[in-house]
Amino acid sequence: MGREMDNFLTESEKESIRETVAAAKQGIDKLVDDFYTRLFDLEPSLRPLFATDLSDQKKKLVSMLVSIVSLLDKPEQLLVAARALGKRHTAYGVSREDFEPVGNALIGALASAAADQWDFDKEQAWVHLYSALTAEMLSEFS
């Protein structure tokens, strides 16, 4: 460890994340549906990992976005939470390779929800955040 504090998001990246989450919360139903449509389109084999009824996932995605935003200025806490999340994900049957399609589905759905507010800087901010979270989560994978 030690690397993450220097390497965490810039102020303008954090601003981009906050803006996209604020926009995403407006159309959360559509965003969640879009995320799962994209994910199972990219990787149909992941469908059985999720409960048949995806409605609970909506609440989980919202609470995840809210907690990410609330911890953006506390990267050490965010990364500790990501490690705990990583540990739980091993129990959900998730593998390392699954992070790529999930990231693509998530960022694709956020971009679509943000519509004309989306730009290259927002994309970069999300790629950066998602990679940082993934790296911490994967540190709990064998």
Rounded alpha-carbon distances, angstroms, from residue 38 to 47, 75, 119, 134: 11, 29, 20, 19
CB of 135 to ligand HEM, least distance (A): 9
Task: Describe the crossing of helices 120-138 and 75-91 by its angle, rounded to 10 degrees.
Answer: 60
Q: Does 50 bind ligand HEM (CB under 6 A)?
A: yes
Q: Does 38 bind ligand HEM (CB under 6 A)?
A: no
- Closest C-alpha to 19, from 134, 85, 115: 115
Interface region with ligand HEM, contact rule CB under 6 A, candidates 17-25, 28-36, 114-122, 130-138: 130-138
CA 57 to chain centre: 13
CB of 116 to ligand HEM, least distance (A): 26
The two structure tokens encoding residue 108? 């694709």
The one among 29, 45, 48, 51 contacting ligand HEM by CB under 6 A: 51
Chain residues binding ligand HEM by CB under 6 A are 46, 49-51, 60, 64, 85, 88-89, 92, 94, 98-99, 102, 130, 133-134, 137
